[in-house]
Structure 1
Amino acid sequence: MIDVNELLEEAIRETENLNEDEVFLVKDLFKGYVWNRIPRKDRLLLGTLFLNYVNMMEGSIKAIEKTSSNQQRYKKIKS
């Protein structure tokens, strides 16, 4: 069973590997096969939790526009 809170922590850790001004989706923070193994409902919850984290923290990640498929895009900014 996948714990969404553990996935959130993993996603947050992975943002440290991004370059400044890099634009990404939450799914980009996981290897393809790992992302595909996460149940859809958990992926949706993870996306919501990550957005809430970004909005609450004054960090180096900023939410920007959504894609045409309604996925939230983020940008790593100078902290």
Structure 2
Amino acid sequence: MIDVNELLEQAIRETEKLNEGEVFLVKDLFKGYVWNRIPRKDRLLLGTLFLNRVSKMNDNLKAIEKTSSNQQRYKKINL
């Protein structure tokens, strides 16, 4: 299985393909079958790492509200 840090970098690269103003979940950055193959514990860790990366970096990504299922939503913004 692929390393969680590699998955994080892959997710960050995928955000470059998003349009300004798009709202997304981390799982949206992966094809469905790829996301489903990631063990649950690694998906949870990936979500935490992604939130930390977005929070620490002055990037064009912003954490917004959580969904009803407690998944963090993000928005691509223009700096």
TM over 0.5: yes
Query: In the TM superposition, what are the counterparts of 1:1-79 in structure 2 within 5 Å?
Result: 1-79=1-79
Please give the alpha-carbon distance, in whole angstroms, between the structure 2 residues aligned to 1:23 and 1:13.
16
Q: Which runs of 4+ in 1 moved over 2 A?
A: none
Question: Deviations along 1:13-65, whole A, 9 cap, x unmatched?
Answer: 00000000000000000000000000000000000000000000000000000
Unaligned runs of 5+ in 2: none
Number of residue equivalences: 79
Structure 1 gap ranges (5+): none
**1:74, CA displacement in angstroms?**
0.1
The alignment yields a C-alpha RMSD, in angstroms, of 0.5
